[in-house]
Amino acid sequence: QKEVEQNSGPLSVPEGAIASLNCTYSDRGSQSFFWYRQYSGKSPELIMSIYSNGDKEDGRFTAQLNKASQYVSLLIRDSQPSDSATYLCAVKRGGSTGTASKLTFGTGTRLQVTL
Amino acid sequence: GAVVSQHPSWVICKSGTSVKIECRSLDFQATTMFWYRQFPKQSLMLMATSNEGSKATYEQGVEKDKFLINHASLTLSTLTVTSAHPEDSSFYICSARDWVGTEQYFGPGTRLTVT
């Protein structure tokens, strides 16, 4: 079982729709959760971080975390063609040093927003 | 978010030569820096973690004598690819985190081509 699992996609949604990206993780000790966006040929860009159960909203983005189910998701409202990218889920156990401080990435979900 | 720069953004070198890549945190002190490698259509692969003033910790399978990492200051880390070969051609991305250690920011990446 992979430590962080994401559906590779592509996930295709029409412009203006809600895109829902999902991620599950295996380490129950994970405390910090992140969503990165990576355009083709570019480096990842941090778009959301979430640390406690529930929802966290930032503009068109909402991150949802359910630690009991070991599940984190990202909703993108009013999807735009410019949102087309690969979205990487990353988790961290916590702490600032040692193995626990490393991010563990999923392989990413490719999102395509169609006109 | 915090800004991380990398230089050069791309480099072409001949087989057998060495290449140095610089990573700088521009508006924060990076106590920890990470170096990743990404091959086309693959996920990020962590190569090593470095804490300022300490030796880097390399991931399993990464040759520390080939990929030299120096993190001499709180704003600069360097990766030197020694005796580069065509199979070292890849996208190298650094990432930095401050002492609080919550969020991690990526540089724009360096595309290395070894001919």
- pLDDT tens across A66-83, in order? 999 999 999 999 999 999
Q: What is the rounded average pLDDT for all residues in chain A?
A: 93
Helix (H/G/I), strand (E/B), else coil: B86: helix
Chain B residues with CB inside 8 Å of A97's CB? 32, 51, 101
Nearest C-alpha in B relative to A47: B1
Please classify residue B7 by burial: count the beta carbons closer than 10 Å to its beta carbon, then call 0-12 exposed, 13-18 middle and 19+ buried.
middle
Chain B residues with CB inside 8 Å of A45's CB? 106
Dihedral, CA atoms, B67, B91, A33, A20, nearest 10 degrees?
-160
Taking CB atoms and an 8 Å limit, are A103 and B32 in contact across chains?
A: no
Q: Which of A43, A102, A103 sits opposite B109 (nearest CB)?
A: A43
> Which band of pLDDT confidence, cut at 50, 70 and 90, is reported for residue A99?
low
pLDDT computed for residue B101 by the predictor = 72
> Which band of pLDDT confidence, cut at 50, 70 and 90, is reported for residue A97?
low
pLDDT computed for residue A95 by the predictor = 62
